[in-house]
Amino acid sequence: MQQGLAWSFGKKLSYGQKIFLLATLPLVFAMLTVGFIVLQEARGVAEREIAVLEAELIAAKKAELRNYVSIARTAFGPVYGNALPDDEIAKREVLQILAAMTYGNEGFYFVYDYEGTNLVSPRQTWLIEKNWAGLSDSNGVPVVDELIRLARQGSGYHTYTWPKPNSGKPATMVSYVIGLQDWHWAIGTGIFIDDVLASVASARAQTKARVQRTFLYIGGITSAAVFAVFLSGLFLNLRERRLAEDKLKALTQRVFDTQEEERGRVARELHDSISQILVGVRYTLELARRRQTTGDTRAGDSLSSGITHLNGAIQEVRRISRDLRPGVLDDLGLGPALQSLAEEFGARTGIEVDFETVVFRNRLDQDAKIALYRVAQEALTNVERHSGATRVNMLVRGTKLGAVLRIQDNGRGMPETGSEPSGLGLRNMAERMARLDGTLRVISTKTGLMIEAQVPLTHMLTPIAKNPVGLSKGQDAKANQ
């Protein structure tokens, strides 16, 4: 069903619309493909850059935490270094030092023993003296147990969600913790990285906006290109239409000119030959009537002369009729028609014509026979009027590619060797061959002019029976031509 609908839609498109689609669809597809690749690459590069930025900012925060812990250790180091594992006075002094060391608006130090009890939390005092072992954040990430584990190992960083001291709202926090192994304490501090996450989110939003602008630019360029193709196609379509109309007008005028020329030729033939002969026949018959009235014995001679002139007029009418449409072409085929044309041309002009033909294995259709016969007529007319030749060779035969008619004379050739034929007769030959998808070659040399016309195999019919009923062998061969 979908194929049928697509076929119907395609059938409704005009030729110009199909050309426009063929020109624009590959362009649109290419631009969309390029745009998709560019956007994917831009997103990939941006994400990598954002990841690098985030890693650098967090690394800076971690270095800052490490420095804070180093400062705290420097502060309580002398006390811890001179104390024994069970020195409660030293422990209390260290806790007091850490509880007093706050920084910024939310910075503080925390202390947990390895059992999970909070010992110091100056900004969140509700944590002190309570055991928080097993505590996890809102995302299920262990907090106190992980800090103690890192402290037992010596030191480490841990990221988790923790309520901010000022607002109580949960936020992402990075902590750095060290272990005091003699006292089984985990001492550390943390920094909220809201500013880092905000910077990363801002960079990501800017990247998304840049990607969207890039996509809009690509869409705008594609639309402009399609519009330019549309305008170019419209301009070319209008221009080609005007040229086609001009050519049609010129062709129509040439058809009218050819018709008028043919009518003029027939009128001249009738006036110069038939009309004069019939006038002579009239005078001869009138003379015979007067002689018969007066009893002149020469009346019979006048009648015989009139009959002779009348026979000449009949022959002339047949000749003109044969030039307009030779009956032998329909009755016997192309070969006999061309042979008759060559014989009459030689008898009329005195130019020697050598005619050669090969029996076709296939018959020519009617259009091809008429076209080749008219080409031969035009070629012999050119030989008679322009070549000054004394000899003409005419060949017609079938080949693997179709049927070929070749006419070659020993005249002066064309005035400009190699130029495109521009005479009306040569143009008529070329147009006849073009209508049949055939070819016409005109080769001019110092030794004469050769015209070769060829029609393709599509104008060859299937062979008829070798000896049809009612035809002799000679007629059979001619019919196959």
Q: What is d(CA 422, CA 412) in angstroms, rounded to the nearest whole number? A: 17
Q: What is d(CA 387, CA 411) in angstroms, rounded to the nearest whole number? A: 5
**Domains in the chain, ordered, with CATH?**
53-192 (3.30.450.20), 328-479 (3.30.565.10)
Q: What's the pLDDT score for residue 321?
A: 67
Q: What proportion of the chain, given as a percentage, has pLDDT over 70? A: 83
Indicate the angle between helix axes 299-324 and 276-294, nearest 10 degrees.
160
DSSP assignment string, 192-238: E-HHHHHHHHHHHHHHHHHHHHHHHHHHHHHHHHHHHHHHHHHHHHH
**Is 413 a residue whose pLDDT tops 80?**
no
- Is beta strand 448-456 parallel, antiparallel or unpaired with respect to 155-163? unpaired
**Who wins on pLDDT, 212 or 352?**
352
Q: What is d(CA 67, CA 69) in angstroms, rounded to the nearest whole number? A: 5
Q: What's the pLDDT score for residue 470?
A: 42
Q: What's the pLDDT score for residue 327?
A: 65
Q: What's the pLDDT score for residue 114?
A: 93
**Who wins on pLDDT, 419 or 103?**
103
Listed ranges 80-94, 217-231, 393-407; the one with the highest mean pLDDT: 80-94
CB 185 within 8 A of CB 212: no
Q: What is d(CA 26, CA 218) in angstroms, rounded to the nearest whole number? A: 15
**Is 238 a residue whose pLDDT tops 90?**
no
**Is 356 a residue whose pLDDT tops 60?**
yes
Q: Which residues pair with 396 in a beta bridge?
A: 357, 405
Neighbouring C-beta atoms of residue 98, cutoff 10 Å: 23
Average pLDDT for residues 87-96, to the nearest whole number? 91
Closest CA to 464 of 393, 363, 386, 366: 363
pTM, entire model: 0.43
User: What is the residue-averaged pLDDT of the chain?
Assistant: 79
Identify the band that residue 467 occupies on the pLDDT scale cut at 50, 70 and 90: very low
Q: What is the DSSP code (8-state) at residue 401?
A: S
**Who wins on pLDDT, 369 or 306?**
369
Average pLDDT for residues 324-353, to the nearest whole number? 80
**Is 8 a residue whose pLDDT tops 50?**
no
Indicate the angle between helix axes 334-349 and 366-382, nearest 10 degrees.
20
CB 373 within 8 A of CB 341: yes
Average pLDDT for residues 166-193, to the nearest whole number? 90
Average pLDDT for residues 80-85, to the nearest whole number? 88
Q: What's the pLDDT score for residue 179?
A: 93
Q: What's the pLDDT score for residue 410?
A: 87
**Is 419 a residue whose pLDDT tops 50?**
no
Q: What's the pLDDT score for residue 151?
A: 93
Through-space distance between the first and last CA atoms of the chain, rounded to whole angstroms: 50
CB 250 within 8 A of CB 37: no
Q: What is the pLDDT of residues 118-129, one digit of tens each?
A: 999 998 889 999
Identify the band that residue 11 occupies on the pLDDT scale cut at 50, 70 and 90: very low
Q: What is the pLDDT of residues 269-307, one digit of tens each?
A: 666 667 777 777 777 888 778 877 887 777 777 778 878
DSSP assignment string, 407-443: EEE-S---SSTTPPP-SHHHHHHHHHHHHTT-EEEEE
Q: What is d(CA 11, CA 17) in angstroms, rounded to the nearest whole number? A: 11
CB 371 within 8 A of CB 459: no
Q: What's the pLDDT score for residue 229?
A: 73
